[in-house]
Amino acid sequence: MSSPRSRYLFIVFSVVSLFVASSIHAVLSGYNEDWDLEYILSGGFKPETFYGENITLINDNNCEDRVWFARHTLDMNIDVLYGKETYGYSAAEFMFTLRNRSVWGNRKSLGPTTRDEIKFLSAVGQSHRHNLPFHFLWIRELWVRFSLNDLFGFNACGEHTFTIGAFPFELGRGISLGAAFAVGPELLGFYTDSAINQFAFGAKFSGELRKDILSYDLYGAILDNKASSVSDTGARIYGQEFGRIANPIRGFGKIAYLVAGRLVWFPLHNDPERTLVVEPYMLYGHAPEQKLEFLGDAKADLGTFGLACDYLTDCFEVGFEFAKNIGSQKVKGWDRNVVELQNRNGNPVLVNSQVVIGVDPKDPNTPFDLSLYKVPHTSNEINGGTPTTFGKDAQNIINLREIENENQNGRLIGTVSGFSAALPDTIPDAVAPAMEDQLYNTNTRFRNPYKNEFKGYMFVADAAWIPCKDLKLAVAVGIASGDDNPNFTTRDGDFAGFIGLQEIYSGKRVRSAFLLGGSGRLERPLSAPLSPTAVDPFARTISGFTNLIYTGTGLNWKTCCRDHKITFNPNVIGYWDHFQTPKFDIMAKKDSTIQCARSYLGAEINLFLYADITKNINVFFVGAVFLPGGHFSDIKGKPLNKDQLKRLDRLDRTGFNDDLIPNLGDDIAYTLNAGVTFKF
């Protein structure tokens, strides 16, 4: 409980902050008659605190799965408008937003960099990142908009504008295309309505085709540019692609972008009591360098077309949105063999990841773990010595890829006499001498090319009854198609899961605060690969609005208490999987091949509570409880990585206790978020 002194300091701090911000706003906001400029300073400061329990694995046995932290978000907006006196309206506008956000006491939260691959000797693939430990401001929003009517001097039926810079743009409800570019890292299960720390840079043409009836937007954005420097275009990243060992350079043109267009139609524009908004839209996204296992080993072209509608009256609201994916992902033929760093008897050794010596990978008696049999790379000093002639001969055999397909997996590719004799610590004594110098591809070295066709879809609908001005009762349903991981098998096929770009949808009239809230969502595992030779034996996890069915209801009530406006918004939502995944066999430590897990994921009960203390200050509370359903009971204990698999290995099989199962569970999860928002 806070002391009287701390409460007094908090009141003094709030009053001083309000006075300073109001003074700045009064000084910097105004109008310049000589330049016909209106400039407005605004912003907000939001300190808040979060608590979460069982938010990642929903399991009481994971005592570490509990967090608490406090953080703040500071925004400073400068808006400059030109032409109000000259043209009678704002012919141009410039917007600039600075942001600072950090978790209090955690300097790593201030500015984590993106991950980048590093090279150690001849080994690549290890990632590196660091943090900037200073409270700095960054650009969240930066754009300029101007009227095309005045620029080209023509009179049209409506105003047409051009906007360029970093600004928000979304289609429909933000499911097919949202504004969540460079989303800030959020913990699972925490709702946040300001997760977008930076908007994508792009350009937009907007205008009215018929005044107050029909308008349009044409939008384009650059999402990732690998053609902006010689170091990017000259990067040698394609040596593992089939046919490119002699031409590994990236080259020009690897730019990820998207283009989108929409129409916004108001058919009932003359009706003062009813509003109907119809929005058909389309988008196309091009990603020339996706990463499934290696950077640039796949590329994708995604198209989405959809329709969003909303109908509003004084006592009733209803809306829906439908969207369909088209396009494809092309996965390249790839040699998975890379040089990796390995610890052998306390010594760092560079080895070929997908070539072994002295063992036949297809022999059923071959050890499961082939790490000690991987062939050392010749650039490494073998056992303290220098690269040998037979070591170089072995590397030449490994790099000679005359035939590149999966038929070469597990095959003998050559023999180098005397090579294994130089590695007494590598090959166990049990290996037959006749096999010591034989080099084999592993069972997973080569991956054939294939293509995935996108065929996902989504549909959401909600409605609200408004019996009085301050009360709204709402219901909602939604479905986003799902599918299993299409990249476990190397064959052409369809991917039926819905794909949204930059999406952080959490509902419109019925809101989610846990499963879909903010940018952190509960991870839901798909099937684990059936093949024992799979590169990654663990299931892929998904989150967000895909492979999901939901229905829910909510109440939104606004009232006044001692002249303070209070908004009370509870919601109850149930969730199901669209695509069924296998049940997990805890004793066998693998997915069942005959039983599917139940589809019911669980129910979320949440509460959004807002109270206006003054015109500028608002306090809020968001709480959520997630009650897991039969699906999580059926996959209880399922490991998602090597560390979780080790936890299962430690279970006592003689005295097996269901209450002590680690990893994914089916216990209740809780999240709380409370804070203050000060806007000026």
What is the rounded average pLDDT for all residues in the chain?
A: 84
pLDDT digits (tens, 9 = 90+) for 541-553: 888 889 999 999 9
| Percentage of the chain exceeding pLDDT 90 | 47
Please state, in angstroms and rounded to a whole number, the distance separating the CA atoms of residues 86 and 82: 9
> Which value, in Å, is the radius of gyration of the alpha carbons in the chain?
29
Please state, in angstroms and rounded to a whole number, the distance separating the CA atoms of residues 378 and 350: 8
Element (H, E) at 28: helix 4-28
Tokens for 67? 């967090």
Q: Is the pLDDT of residue 114 over 70?
A: no
Amino acid at 276: L
pLDDT digits (tens, 9 = 90+) for 129-168: 666 767 788 899 999 999 888 767 766 678 899 999 999 9
| Reported pTM | 0.86
What is the total residue count of the chain?
680
User: Helix or strand or coil: residue 629?
Assistant: coil
Phi-psi region of 212 (alpha: psi -120 to 50; beta: other; left: phi over 0): left
Q: Is the pLDDT of residue 113 over 80?
A: no
183: confidence class by pLDDT, cuts 50, 70, 90: low
556: confidence class by pLDDT, cuts 50, 70, 90: very high
Beta bridge partners of 285: 258, 302
Please state, in angstroms and rounded to a whole number, the distance separating the CA atoms of residues 578 and 561: 44
User: Helix or strand or coil: residue 376?
Assistant: strand
Please state, in angstroms and rounded to a whole number, the distance separating the CA atoms of residues 593 and 582: 7
Domain parsing of the chain, residue ranges: 1-32, 339-447
DSSP string, 129-184: --B--S---EEEEEEEEEEHHHHHT---SS-EEEEEEE----BTTTSSB-S-TTBP
Q: Is the pLDDT of residue 13 over 70?
A: no
pLDDT of residue 144: 95
Q: Is the pLDDT of residue 121 over 60?
A: no
pLDDT digits (tens, 9 = 90+) for 352-365: 999 998 888 888 87
Amino acid at 63: C
